[in-house]
């Protein structure tokens, strides 16, 4: 891959972000704004004593903990962000190779010297690696505002707020864990992503119905013809919540290097190759 190809891939990623700026930039920004508004509203209803007790309780909770140990607690506020991100990710993937066919702008995209492989790869990298960064950046801004606010509260109420530096480090580590959780989840769910993208490339309308409908049909036929439930078991084996969380750097290695993960990546890659193939012709 030479310099031009890198620049070209960068342009493809930039296009994805610009096209889906509402999902990737506006959605987390609005959520952060709502959380801030709610927090201000809640604070105005709390008395000085309640604020003092809360700050002291927090100091007690974090007492003696390293930033790494505090980080999982800082991941809790990320839950609504992760929920919104996954919701947006499903919509994004469903439309990824469908919407431009629908509005005929595919004729423009295909008139550029960009391979279908790079187009599909750019969409995967966008949703698995780039878009989460915007959510992480928004959460980072939110944490900085929250810590700054905490410091001002402590100063104005004359309460000693201990360990602000540690809290900041814990917030940063928690955001790294959130990011790693999303990236490893993207790889873990590559078969699902491949399935959705395949139907996004194939369906003439409502790709989500195709993706779900064909999945149910294949599962039913498997059980009816072979009497097995491989498909159902495969899905069940990937539905434990802990499989989607990184709470320690050690988890990353364990999550990535195992046969289940490699098998999933292989299945996902085959489905994505099918999507690239389907994308070849637009008729």
Partner 1 sequence: MSNIVEARALTKTYGSLKALDGINLTIPTGAISGLIGPNGAGKTTALKALIGLCDVEGELNVAGMDPRAARHKLMEDVCFIADVGILPKWFKVSQLIDYVEGVHPKFDRIKTGEFLSTTDIPANKRIKELSKGMVTQLHLALVMAIDVKLLVLDEPTLGLDIIYRKEFYDRLLNDYYDGDRTIVISTHQVEEIEALLTHLNFINNGEIVLSAMMTDLADIYTEVVVDPEQIAQADALNPIHIRELLGKKSYTFESVPKAQLQPLGEIYTPSVADLFVAKMKDSRHE
Minimum distance from CB of 8 to partner 1 (Å)? 5
Determine the Cα–Cα distance for residues 160 and 259; give it in Å rounded to an integer.
Answer: 51
Minimum distance from CB of 224 to partner 1 (Å)? 31
Residues 6+ away with beta carbon under 8 Å from 125: 9, 13
Is the CB of 21 or the CB of 209 nearer to partner 1? Answer: 21
Is the CB of 101 or the CB of 255 nearer to partner 1? Answer: 101
261, 188 contact by CB (below 8 A): yes
Minimum distance from CB of 130 to partner 1 (Å)? 15
189, 267 contact by CB (below 8 A): no
Is the CB of 99 or the CB of 243 nearer to partner 1? Answer: 99
Minimum distance from CB of 201 to partner 1 (Å)? 14
9, 122 contact by CB (below 8 A): yes
Is the CB of 111 or the CB of 239 nearer to partner 1? Answer: 111
Is the CB of 10 or the CB of 43 nearer to partner 1? Answer: 10
Residue with tokens 């993937």: 93
Residue with tokens 């431009």: 100
Task: Spell out the alpha helix ranges (H) of 111-258.
Answer: 116-125, 131-156, 164-188, 190-202, 207-226, 230-236, 249-256
- Positions in the binding site for partner 1 (CB under 8 A): 4, 7-8, 10-12, 14-15, 18-19, 100, 103-105, 107-116, 118, 280-283
Coil/strand/helix, residue 98: coil
Minimum distance from CB of 18 to partner 1 (Å)? 6
Residues 6+ away with beta carbon under 8 Å from 110: 282
Is the CB of 234 or the CB of 277 nearer to partner 1? Answer: 277
68, 173 contact by CB (below 8 A): yes
Minimum distance from CB of 135 to partner 1 (Å)? 21
């Amino acid at each position: 891959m030479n310099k031009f190809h890198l620049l070209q891939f960068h342009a493809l990623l930039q296009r994805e972000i610009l096209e889906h700026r509402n999902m990737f930039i506006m959605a987390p920004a609005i959520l952060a704004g709502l959380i801030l508004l709610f927090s201000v509203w809640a604070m105005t209803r709390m008395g000085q004593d309640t604020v003092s007790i809360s700050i002291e309780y927090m100091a007690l909770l974090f007492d003696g903990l390293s930033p790494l140990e505090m980080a999982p607690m800082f991941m809790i506020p990320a839950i609504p962000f992760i929920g919104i991100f996954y919701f947006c990710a499903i919509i994004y993937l469903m439309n990824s190779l469908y919407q431009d066919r629908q509005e005929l702008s595919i004729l423009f995209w295909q008139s550029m010297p960009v391979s279908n492989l790079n187009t599909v790869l750019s969409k995967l990298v966008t949703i698995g690696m780039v878009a989460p960064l915007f959510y992480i950046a928004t959460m980072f801004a939110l944490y900085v505002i929250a810590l700054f606010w905490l410091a001002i509260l402590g100063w104005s109420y004359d309460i000693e707020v201990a360990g602000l530096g540690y809290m900041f480090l814990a917030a940063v580590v928690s955001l790294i864990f959130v990011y790693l959780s999303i990236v490893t989840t993207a790889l873990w769910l590559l078969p699902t992503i491949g399935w959705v993208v395949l139907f996004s490339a194939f369906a003439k309308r409502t790709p989500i119905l195709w993706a779900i409908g064909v999945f149910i049909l294949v599962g039913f036929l498997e059980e009816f013809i072979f009497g097995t439930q491989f498909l159902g078991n495969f899905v069940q084996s990937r539905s434990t919540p802990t499989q989607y969380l990184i709470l320690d750097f050690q988890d990353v290695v364990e999550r990535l290097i195992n046969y289940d993960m490699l098998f999933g990546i292989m299945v996902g890659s085959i489905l994505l190759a099918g999507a690239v193939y389907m994308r070849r012709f637009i008729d």
